[in-house]
């Protein structure tokens, strides 16, 4: 069984990301890396694996969203070449915070990213992980929920966001 990706482009994110095609392909290769042992993918373990794989490709891990003294310590998961990445395997309540990080990093005088890449798993992935590998993915944010909710933020979120759903 191999990892496949589902995609959703908010505010022409795929077109923006295609202007940095090597980075887009690098993200896809990291997420579909054949060395990932699917049977061991608990949420924490998958985060650890992705952290190692992104850093091995030169991605800055945990870059600060704000630059000011006394900042609230908001951090993205990864950044490279004006592309910000958030990996969210946690509860769906984190969607607003994660998307707001992209918005702030893109605007508000910070101008750090041109596009955000939001990575989560599909419901089918979560069910298969629970059923076949006894890994607890219950309550995790799903690709389907992100793609359903994101268009409702269009008046508040101007940054393009490319959503990747990890599927099997």
Which has the closest alpha carbon to 129: 37, 50, 38, 47?
38
- What is the domain range of residue 47? 4-167
Q: What is the pLDDT confidence band of residue 66, given thresholds at 50, 70 and 90?
A: confident
pTM passes above 0.75: yes
Which has the closest alpha carbon to 54: 4, 100, 112, 119?
119
Res 110 pLDDT > 80: no
CATH number of residue 32's parent domain: 3.40.91.20
| Cα–Cα distance for residue pair 113/76, rounded to 1 Å | 11
For the segment 3-10, the average pLDDT, to the nearest whole number, is: 98
| Cα–Cα distance for residue pair 140/92, rounded to 1 Å | 6
59 against 93, higher pLDDT: 59
Which has the closest alpha carbon to 77: 40, 42, 117?
117
Could you read off the pLDDT of 80-106 as tens digits, one per residue?
999 999 999 999 888 999 999 999 889
Res 43 pLDDT > 70: yes
Total domains in the fold of the chain: 1
Q: What is the pLDDT confidence band of residue 71, given thresholds at 50, 70 and 90?
A: low
Position 119 scores a pLDDT of 98
DSSP labels, the chain: ---EEEEEEESSHHHHHHTTHHHHHHHHHHHT-TT--GGG--HHHHHHHHHHHHHHTTPEES-BS--STT----B-SEEETTEEEEE--SBGGGHHHHHHHHHHHHSTTT---SEEEEEEE-HHHHHHHHHHH----TTB-BHHHHHHHGGGGTTT--S-EEEEEEE-
């Amino acid at each position: 069984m191999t990892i496949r990706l589902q995609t959703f482009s908010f505010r022409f994110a795929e077109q923006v990301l295609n202007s940095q095609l090597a980075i887009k392909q690098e993200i896809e290769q990291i997420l579909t890396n054949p060395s990932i042992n699917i049977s061991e993918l608990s949420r924490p373990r998958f985060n650890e694996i992705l952290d190692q794989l992104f850093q091995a490709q030169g991605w800055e891990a945990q870059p600060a969203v704000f630059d000011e003294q006394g900042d609230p310590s908001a951090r993205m998961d990864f950044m490279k070449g004006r592309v910000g990445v958030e990996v969210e395997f946690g509860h769906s309540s984190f969607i607003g915070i994660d998307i707001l990080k992209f918005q702030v990093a893109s605007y508000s005088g910070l101008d750090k990213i041109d596009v955000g890449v939001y990575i989560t798993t599909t419901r089918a992935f979560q069910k298969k992980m629970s059923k076949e590998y006894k890994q607890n993915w219950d309550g995790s944010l799903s690709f389907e929920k992100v793609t359903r909710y994101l268009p409702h933020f269009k008046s508040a979120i101007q940054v393009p966001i490319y959503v990747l759903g990890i599927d099997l």
